[in-house]
Structure 1
Amino acid sequence: MPDARSTPVTAAILVIGDEILSGRTKDKNIGYIAEYLTSSGIDLREVRVVPDVAEEIVAAVNALRARYTYLFTTGGIGPTHDDITADCVAQALGVGIDVDPRARAMLLERIKEADLNEARLRMARIPFGAELIENAVSKAPGFMIENVIVMAGVPAIMQSMLDAVAPRLRTGARVTAETIEAGNLPEGGYASDLALVAKAHPGVSIGSYPSMTPAGFRNQIVVRGRDGEAVAAARAAVEALVARLHAARG
């Protein structure tokens, strides 16, 4: 029987909010979630950003949840009129939605009963059949329904929710990444040879990443894979290539 961990576990992120698309709010969640998932053996395959438009949210949810093991959404679960993510997820999955007694009780841990007005109760509206995701920061919960994980857009709250939901997720074998310093070798000088190395090591991913540092221009080549021996072999080949090119330059 094949090892379940050998089957890739994949994910997408759906960022919801006009404020992201307008540039008013700078997203801080994508990179955090990507790193978090990578360390858990979950491959992030796609990221989309959509406005606060119900039709677009529903269409994106349905497209992404069908394509990947998990869909993570951020944004649109607050108390204002444009926080429509929960309703859109319910619509996408064809279920009802209403104030959830469990979510209401969570809100009351932070808000007095007298202050639990209609706007705040919007944060307790949960699609039928969803599991709640705890929010240690402000108590208003996220939720998980089928393979859709709905989280807040505020980074600290999102991070708290991600920690809470992570134990429920299926994970795969973790990716090993090895970085080879290419120094000031220009990409154009090794691109063809690097392509040959990549072709000879199909079980790994090899990427080249230029950057500017205080010391000047540099390139790094990164080898990634789930098979440690394959990664080590590819790394050795890249290191040999880099050493040969540096030697040729004198």
Structure 2
Amino acid sequence: MELELTTLLMLAGLALLAGFIDTLAGGGGLLTLPGLLLAGLPPVQALAANKLQGTFGSGMATFTLLRLRRFSPAAVRRPFLWALVGSAAGTVLVQVVHTDALEILVPVVLAIIALYFLLTPGAGRVERAPRLGAALYERTVVPAIGFYDGFFGPGTGSFFSLAEVALRGRELITATAHAKAFNFASNIASLVLFVIGGKVLWLVGGTMILGQLTGAWLGAHAVLRGGQRLIRPLIVLMCLAMIGRYLYATVAG
């Protein structure tokens, strides 16, 4: 499938904005996936192209935050692998079952995330005692969110951030950095399976990668400069925006 140069450039610009937002709060797919569908890509190819450019964006954010010493490789090594496993399982399963139930479940979970950050202004300001042990968290929560990313996807970054703050007691900037590493892992597993299945449109995805890399690099630096002042409202905003998208799709359908 071939797209006009103007359409490709518009998708690259959309990917830049999505990469920036996704690094700080998650939800960048709310921009890129509809954009790909509006450009005329079939749903499966749109999902694959979205996963391709998203993988590079989350990778850029992860390595930038690592270089800036916002987290250590040792802190994310095991959960990174569990996110890979969960996402691979979700990507395999989504090809044989329907996702209708998630259209109802996801807005509810997003509303909970938005309310959590709105009603608990102290959450993520400082490190707190974890509510869930590291081993249990890594083997249950992380692969479950990874599974969701491979199976469906929207809001994954927000889910990882919330889990890090609420269950592991992380400070919000560290939670955001860890969330990008875990999201990078879940993106890799899903992308590999899409590539094996021959679903990736390389020209479209490759063009959007350029925008994603730039947006993710800018977003990673904004995490340090804006900190909680920027991340918290963006998480709430993106959760509400995704809820609005689901409600609109339900009414329009």
Task: Give the TM bin, normalised by the shorter chain.
Answer: under 0.3
TM-score (norm 2): 0.22
Larger radius of gyration: 1
Instruction: Tell which has more relative contact order, 1 or 2 (C-alpha 8 A, sep 6+).
Output: 2
